[in-house]
């Protein structure tokens, strides 16, 4: 049985594509994982800092011209709040309130889809925040 040159070329192309795909997967360049969420190690955390002072609502999202503040609800600690922000996929910053407030913000977690809604207030005891990439 004799094969044509076109068949050899087609087989060579298929083999080449398989090799390139294998290299891309092994290097992480081509991944089935969702890479839109920022990795945890690229966050800068701030104690006693509120990022959404006067804008966030305890249980509802707030949309402004500059972006959205997401109400992630009750979280046990700042690390759970950060995890909720990362899992969202578009969240770039978060603030978690501890239970010292005695109001509807106790243990609440909020995140931001845009840095345009972030207004840093550093004299905010009981609040813990993080910003991606800073």
The contacts of residue 2 (CB under 8 Å, 6+ apart) are none
Summarised one tens digit per residue, pLDDT across range 47-77 is 999 998 888 888 888 888 888 899 999 999 9
In this predicted model, which residue has the larger pLDDT, 1 or 78? Answer: 78
pLDDT band with cut points at 50, 70 and 90 for residue 36: very low
How far apart are the C-alpha atoms of 50 and 55, rounded to whole Å? 11
Region 37-43: what's the mean pLDDT?
64
């Amino acid at each position: 049985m004799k094969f044509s040159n076109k068949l050899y070329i087609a087989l060579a192309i298929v083999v080449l594509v398989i090799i390139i795909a294998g290299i891309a997967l092994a290097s992480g360049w081509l991944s089935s994982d969702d890479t839109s969420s920022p990795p945890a190690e690229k966050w800068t955390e701030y104690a006693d800092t509120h990022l959404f002072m006067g804008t966030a609502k305890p249980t509802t999202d707030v949309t402004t011209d500059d972006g959205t503040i997401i109400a992630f609800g009750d979280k046990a600690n700042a690390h759970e709040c950060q995890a909720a922000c990362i899992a969202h996929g578009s969240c770039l910053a978060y603030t978690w309130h501890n239970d010292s407030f005695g109001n509807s913000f106790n243990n609440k977690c909020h995140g931001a889809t845009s840095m345009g809604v972030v207004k840093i207030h550093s004299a905010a005891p009981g609040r813990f925040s993080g910003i991606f990439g800073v």
